[in-house]
Amino acid sequence: TQLLEQSPQFLSIQEGENLTVYCNSSSVFSSLQWYRQEPGEGPVLLVTVVTGGEVKKLKRLTFQFGDARKDSSLHITAAQPGDTGLYLCAGVSQGGKLIFGQGTELSVKP
């Protein structure tokens, strides 16, 4: 069974701080996706990383896929209250199935 472990599960920081969320697995994935989910809404795709070692930037968010395609990280620079939400990583298996981690609940206080 493929599992994805996210850490930390909860993160509460002040506006302007930096943070990193980790997504780890013992399994290899063909690609990995990061989603953000706000209360009362469904997850919204932020990025897909495909190649081992790949780094993608989305404004203040930096996503990295591990060289072995088993892990990923999300780094947010100078966090803002609007970044508050549940961040989910999802591994895509060879068969195209999406397996979600348990999520990281981020709270950014002004």
Partner 1 sequence: EAGVAQSPRYKIIEKRQSVAFWCNPISGHATLYWYQQILGQGPKLLIQFQNNGVVDDSQLPKDRFSAERLKGVDSTLKIQPAKLEDSAVYLCASSPRTGLSGANVLTFGAGSRLTVL
The contact set with partner 1 (CB under 8 A) reads 4, 6, 9, 30-31, 33, 40-45, 48, 50, 88, 90, 92, 95-98, 100-103
Nearer to partner 1, 43 or 108 (CB): 43
**Shortest distance, CB of residue 25 to partner 1, whole angstroms?**
13
Amino acid identity of residue 29, one-letter, is: F
Q: CB of 88: closest distance to partner 1 in angstroms?
A: 5
- Please say which residue, 44 or 58, places its beta carbon nearer to partner 1: 44
Judged by beta carbon, residue 76 or residue 91, the one nearer partner 1 is: 91
